[in-house]
Amino acid sequence: MRFLFVLLLLTVSASGYGYWDIFSFGGRVQSLSPVSAGMCGSSVPDSSSAYSVFANPSALVEIDGLIVSASGWETGWNEIITYHYTCTEPHRDNLGGMIPRGEFAVAFPVWNGFSAGAGIATVSQYDMKATMQVYHEVGYLHSELWKTMVTDATGTLNEALFSLAGSAGPVNIGVSPGVRFGSGESTTFSNRVSGPDSTIIETWDHSEFALRAGASTSLGYTVVYSFFVSGDSRYMSFADIGVSASFPFLKGGYLGAEFGLFDGNWLKGSVFARLPGIVEGSNLYLGIDGYRPEGALKTGMGLSYGGDYSFGSYRVSAAYQYQGRYRDASGISTDYINHVFDKGETVVIGVERVF
């Protein structure tokens, strides 16, 4: 525990959201469950939640009643652009917040070990108003400002899924097919130092097949699990494998680790813990993660913490998750930029009821 606490203090960031993402993947919602958010987005099966429709549908096999789950979150972001030392303005700081979004899901047992569910959630957001400067070389060791780009973007990408889960011997398997859909718009004002200004408006509409799938098996005190999310032109695929271990002294809690790949090549690793809370019926969640995306200046790490409390047929949960990244010039399409640091801080709150 002391080692985990020290790591949490030293952590810097995992994945983020910046100016260039407005036009492609947007700001991916890192965790579609408050409990998952408290463990840095881990997909460890949670059999007491309908959020499992999105987080890992194999967990639905273990539910024993109708569960209704709803959550909401808000993310604030910050992006620091560091330009080449020959530029007149070496730093640019973009700061803002995304529109609050959320998720709703239901799950219920069907018959003889089979369970079903359905849900709708926002999986990516495009809310950003930010500024980026474009320089060109006018002499040795001197770069002159050519134009300032100001972009105002809005939009969301959502998923509507239904789930079916069952057992194949000792292995629980769940699939959540559905549709990933949304729309958005970006307006970019190009303000030139000399010459005519311009305005570019881009709109997009999106509707493609989406699939989330999971598998898990229990080996005594240990649960081994895997999870997969399909990708498309506006959403990166993701696949992971993990393990969690419960011990008697944890009183229902567990420790775990998982490794995953974004888009088949961005390695992500995380460790997490669920610990019994001080108050009867409560749990605490901790997580750290890190990965090295394309164009990374260095490997970053992220942190999260949260908790839940169950009373009667209700469970309330909340979490804080911090994520960000460093990107060097090779991952950015604009000249005279050394690197970019962008981060997001998310607070998520949820409530669930078993009927």
As a dihedral over the C-alpha atoms of residue 52, residue 288, residue 304, residue 343, rounded to 10 degrees, the angle is: -110
Q: Where are the alpha helices (DSSP H) in 18-70?
A: 34-37, 52-55
Per-residue model confidence (pLDDT) at position 7? 32
User: So what's the pLDDT on residue 245?
Assistant: 94
Domain with 302 in it: 2-354
Going by C-alpha positions, the residue among 80, 35, 40 that lies closest to residue 343 is 80
Which CATH number covers residue 66? 2.40.160.60
- Taking a C-beta distance cutoff of 8 angstroms, is the pair 41, 350 a contact? no
* Alpha-carbon distance values, 182 to 51, 120, 204, 235, 331 (Å): 21, 12, 8, 12, 26
pLDDT of residue 123: 96
Q: How many domains does the chain have?
A: 1
φ, ψ dihedrals at 229, nearest 5°: -130, 125
Q: How many CB atoms lie within 10 A of CB 125?
A: 26
Largest CA-CA distance found in the chain, in angstroms, rounded: 76
Question: In 3D, which of 104, 28, 101, 105 has the Cα closest to residue 59?
Answer: 105
* pLDDT given for residue 329 in this prediction: 66
pLDDT, one tens digit for every residue, the chain (355 residues): 333 333 333 322 335 578 888 888 898 998 999 999 999 999 999 998 999 999 999 999 999 899 999 999 999 999 888 888 777 777 788 888 899 999 999 999 998 889 999 999 999 999 999 888 888 877 666 778 888 889 999 999 999 999 999 999 999 999 999 999 999 999 999 999 888 899 999 999 999 999 999 999 999 889 999 999 999 999 999 999 999 999 887 888 999 999 998 887 778 899 999 999 999 999 999 999 887 655 555 556 789 999 999 999 999 999 999 988 777 766 676 778 888 888 889 999 999 999 9
State how far the Cα of 20 lies from the Cα of 17, in Å rounded to an integer. 8
Predicted local confidence at residue 161, as pLDDT: 98
Q: What is the CA radius of gyration of the chain?
A: 22
Name the helix (H) or strand (E) containing 129.
strand 128-139
295 closest CA partner among 323, 265, 258: 265
Q: At 16, give phi and psi (nearest 5°).
A: -140, -150
The contacts of residue 202 (CB under 8 Å, 6+ apart) are: 23, 185, 186, 188
Which residues are CB-neighbours of 144 under 8 A, at least 6 positions away?
88, 135, 136, 137, 138, 193
DSSP of 161-201, one letter per residue?
EEEEEEEETTEEEEEEEEEEEEEEEEEEEEEESSS--EEEE
